Every structure is written in C-alpha cells, then in structure tokens.
Amino acid sequence: MSEKNAVQEKDLFVSGHRACHGCGQALAVRHILKATGRDVIVITPTGCLETFTLTYGYSSWRVPFMHHLFENGPSVATGVVAALKAQHRDHIRVLVIGGDGSTFDIGFGALSGMLERGDDVLYICMDNGAYMNTGGQRSGATPIYAGTTTHPVGKKSIGKPQLKKDMPAIVAAHGAPYVATASVAYLKDLRRKVEQAMTYQGPRYIQIDAPCPSVWGFPSDRTLEIGRLGVQSGLVPVFEMVDGRITGVRKIRTRVPPREYLSAQRRFKHLLEGNRAAREGFEKICAMADSNIEKYGLMD
C-alpha cells in the first residue's frame, strides 16, 4: 500500500470531494473525525458540506452519514439517539454538522428543541457567515456591514445592517453543559475541543469559524491566514463555556488591527474606501473588537 493510500485508510474523511479550493469546512471536518473516532453517526442538513462530499456515486465519509433537510437535522439526530439507546448501543455517539444557515436560521427551532430536551448530541456549526451553497445570501451569522448577494454594497447600503446572532450565548442559555468556539486556523485547539465535548453527555455545541475564499473574497491559499487574522484582531473570539460560564479563552499575544482583517476580504473593502457611513461602520466594527477583548479577557 502506498503512503498516500495508508494515510487515507486511517482518515475518516477523505480527499476526492468537490469543495472549493481553500475551503475551511473540508479541513475542519477531517480533524473533527480524527477527534471523535469511528464510533459516530454524522447527520448533515442541506448545505455546502453535504453537496461537495456526496457527488452522485461518491462519498468522502468513512463513518455512517445521513443527509437531511435544512430544518430538521437536530430532530433526526434525536431519533437516531433514541434508536441507539433502544438497541443498547450507547457507545455510538451522534453528531450533527450543519452550516450557519441551518443552525442560525432555518433549523433553529429544531436545534432549540433538541437543546431543551437534553438529547445526547454534539452539534457542530460550520460558520462561514452566509448561505454559500446557494450564492452567498446573508444569514443570521453574517457579520454586520458585510456585503452579500442579498445585501449588496452601493450608494444606499454599506452591507448587512444587523448584528450577527450570539449563538453560543443562546445555546448556553438553553442549559447545554458544553459550548465552545473554534477556528480552522487553530486545528490542535479544534481537535481538543471536540475531544472534550465527547466526554460530556447531553447536548453540546461547537461553532467553528470556517473562512470561505469564494464569497468572502480572498485568494484560496490564505484561508488559515484569514482565520488567524480574525482571531488575533478580536473579531472572532475563541473560548469555552461549561455550564454557562466562560472557562477558557484563546489569548491574543500580538493584536492585529481590525483593518488588516477587513482589508483582506472583498466583502468588507467598501468600509475602507467609502463615504462617511462606511467610515462610521468601520469604526463600529473596531469598537466591537475592543468590546470582545474586554468581555472575554482575550489579552493579559
């Protein structure tokens, strides 16, 4: 067996899929499954991940996998957990891996129900901040003032006017014992958090910042760099919550100016080149970075 084939034999998410070059999600899923091991069933609502991994006749998954509609992934997971329990196969754990559209918007009701019932499911949200699978429309996870296909930038608009939902806080308010955020720019930290989540029973939630070269507008070889800039600027706080309390944060050693993160992406460039409203938008985002650093204690 060649060295390449030997590596693929060990991986539970293998190459050959149709993800865009530089896709943060593909990298994250490979490392998620390294952390969980084989004894899992993965459920994925409609989105980029399901689309690029399941071209007809092919699959990148080496664990049991189910695709369901945008709105009912958590409900399906609840049913799978019940079936496993009835069969006394409790050692098999259930994961939902959804995009931000199905998590923040379309499937939020089902997610809320799953959390409220206390079902034993690890829910992982791949957050690339818009509906990338259908053309980059705004979602509840889209950052304020980002340009999208449904909030195009122009003379009367500087992008999406609403704030991004604080989904980790919303999930924690449901009583989930473990909530965390992570970034594909820090894969060791991502794997550790998945391993940690697997030690808990009940509903758990991890939100992963997964930069999208195609719609964010940056070269595909800069995915990890863009992810690091987001974290180091304070705009993408990385932390853990246990029983509703912050128990750990990824510290920022050398802070990056938000301008460096924003200017590297087409979706924000108008804030640095535009009119008075754009300048005020840029200043508001800078203030949000300051607020995150203070709120989460990101710098010593």
Q: What is the pLDDT of residue 155?
A: 87
Q: What is the pLDDT of residue 10?
A: 80
Distance of CA 63 to the CA centre of its chain: 20
Q: What is the pLDDT of residue 232?
A: 98
Owner of token pair 């190459």:
15
User: Shortest CA distance to 129 belongs to which of 115, 112, 144?
Assistant: 144
> Using CA atoms, how far apart are residues 11 and 270, in angstroms rounded to an integer?
41
- Taking each continuous run of H as one helix and of E as one strand, the counts in the chain are 12, 8
Q: What is the pLDDT of residue 273?
A: 84
pLDDT mean by block of 10 residues, the chain; 300 residues: 57 92 95 97 95 91 94 96 97 97 96 98 97 94 97 93 98 98 98 98 98 96 98 98 97 96 97 90 98 96
Q: What is the pLDDT of residue 2?
A: 58
Residue 290's DSSP bridge partners are none
Q: In what helix (H) or strand (E) does residue 276 lie, and over which residues does it extend?
A: helix 276-296
Q: What is the pLDDT of residue 38?
A: 95
Alpha carbons within 13 angstroms on the beta-carbon side of residue 6 total: 3
What lies within 8 Å, CB to CB, of 262 at 6+ separation is: 268, 269, 271, 272, 282, 285
Q: What is the pTM of this model?
A: 0.95
Q: What is the pLDDT of residue 201?
A: 96
